[in-house]
Amino acid sequence: MAKKDIKIIVGLWVLALILSALTTWAYMISYNPATATHGPASISEPTTHWLFQPASSVAERVRTESAWMVFIIMPFLYGPFLMLFYIISRFSKSRHPVADKPNENLTLEVAWTIVPALALIVMAVPAYEALRYMEIPPARPDQVINVTGAQFYWQYELPRYGLTTTDNGTITIDAKTGRATEEDSWLHLPINKTVLMNGQSFQVNHAWWVPAFGVKFDVIPGRINTVWFDTKKKGYFKGQCAELCGTLHAYMRIQVVVEEEKDFYEWVLRKGGTIPEEEEARVVELLGADYRERFAPKDGAKPASLPAATESAKSPVPATAGATEATGSK
């Protein structure tokens, strides 16, 4: 191999680095400016992509780390391919009829072992930090939600407001308003708050997964798993049960509405929730002193929840609860 070839190969590796930087840049600017600051404005709008429109700090963190990974990994894809194309053309039979005698190059062999190993270490550090960030919930979360997976619906409990709501996955779009008639039974969250989520299940395993929040966690009978995220964007965020849990697994959709604090309190009151003393002043400020009369749920207006779910949710799930025991003989 001539000196010139070595220069060209080094040049190709520099090109590979530039291409990687361009790929990462293209990846990072792939926000849709129309929806970058908020999620879908109604449930009938398409889902925003978690990678391009993260709606929580956790999802943002995941996105930043993955862009960093792309930057580190791509040279290992571009570099060998560029070299391969160059070598195929440079050392073809017509241009290089007599093959070089194969020989060893210790420096090169050490380099191509150490460089990828270093790349793995460089990737592991921010990945571990991101993991820590995701795993350690805030000490004083603004909202605590207890989610329970069931065959085949989701039940949310907001203990602070004495509120339980059941989302059975159905979405009926009202042609006039373009909104779903079930909206009140979905999980509602106020914007710019930290949320701690405790998940459990009866019967079988499920997984609560809302990509825009960067959250996916297993909910398992007999234990409580916890995740956290914050609500950085208003809108309708969709998710799905991500653990094959039975015949209607595909219908265990998840809908989360992130809205202004005022709208959130209105929802709490419409659902028959109570406002804790320490939040009273804030609610009066947002909704007016007569909020109790104005937003009290009318008789019969309380959305019916599935009785089986409510009963089981009240009693703690026994550690040994099997499918037959939890479903009971109903």
* Residue ranges that bind Cu ion, judged by CB under 5 A: 206, 241, 245, 252
Nearer to Cu ion, 152 or 229 (CB): 152
d(CA 121, CA 115): 10
Q: In whole angstroms, how close is the CB of 241 to Cu ion at the nearest point?
A: 3
Nearer to Cu ion, 199 or 235 (CB): 199
Nearer to Cu ion, 45 or 182 (CB): 182
Nearer to Cu ion, 1 or 244 (CB): 244
Q: In whole angstroms, how close is the CB of 199 to Cu ion at the nearest point?
A: 12
Q: In whole angstroms, how close is the CB of 252 to Cu ion at the nearest point?
A: 4
Q: In whole angstroms, how close is the CB of 245 to Cu ion at the nearest point?
A: 3
Nearer to Cu ion, 217 or 265 (CB): 217
d(CA 28, CA 23): 9
Nearer to Cu ion, 91 or 251 (CB): 251
In the sheet that holds 153-158, the strands lie side by side as: 163-167, 153-158, 143-150, 194-201, 225-230
DSSP 51-111: TTS--SHHHHHHHHHHHHHHHHHHHHHHHHHHHHHHHHHHT-TTT--SPPPP---HHHHHH
Q: In whole angstroms, how close is the CB of 249 to Cu ion at the nearest point?
A: 5
User: What's phi and psi for 175, nearest 5 deg?
Assistant: -60, -35
**Amino acid identity at 322:** G
Nearer to Cu ion, 16 or 245 (CB): 245
> Beta partners for 215?
210
Q: In whole angstroms, how close is the CB of 317 to Cu ion at the nearest point?
A: 15
Other C-beta atoms within 10 Å of 266: how many?
19
- Residue corresponding to tokens 């409990």: 157
Q: In whole angstroms, how close is the CB of 201 to Cu ion at the nearest point?
A: 8
Nearest to residue 47, comparing CAs of 235, 201, 190, 184?
Answer: 235
> Beta partners for 198?
146, 226
